[in-house]
Amino acid sequence: TKPQGHGFGLHHGALAAREMGGSLTAHSDGEGKGATFTLEIPTRPPENAK
């Protein structure tokens, strides 16, 4: 963990998104090109939600 980081992490973010029926994905065109992170969370709970 970096000193300036909040410690949550991408893996935990992806797990949280999945728990809500969504996803967290990342894409990069290569080193030094930056990255795009996409967080998708549905506005309604899944039909099989508890």
Locate 4 and state its tokens: 């300036």
Number of structural domains the chain divides into: 1
Assigned domain for 41 exists: yes
Assigned domain for 27 exists: yes
pLDDT (average), residues 9-33: 92
Intra-chain end-to-end CA distance of the chain, in Å: 34
Give the pLDDT confidence of 3-20 residue by residue, as tens digits: 777 667 888 999 999 999
Assigned domain for 50 exists: no
Assigned domain for 22 exists: yes
Q: What is the pLDDT of residue 29?
A: 97
Assigned domain for 29 exists: yes
Domain limits for position 9: 1-45
The DSSP code for 39 is: E
Q: Is the pLDDT of residue 21 over 60?
A: yes
Instruction: Give a three-class secondary structure readout of the chain.
Output: CCCCCCCCCHHHHHHHHHHCCCEEEEECCCCCCCCEEEEECCCCCCCCCC
Q: What is the pLDDT of residue 47?
A: 76
Identify the residue with better confidence: 49 or 31: 31
Q: What is the pLDDT of residue 42?
A: 92
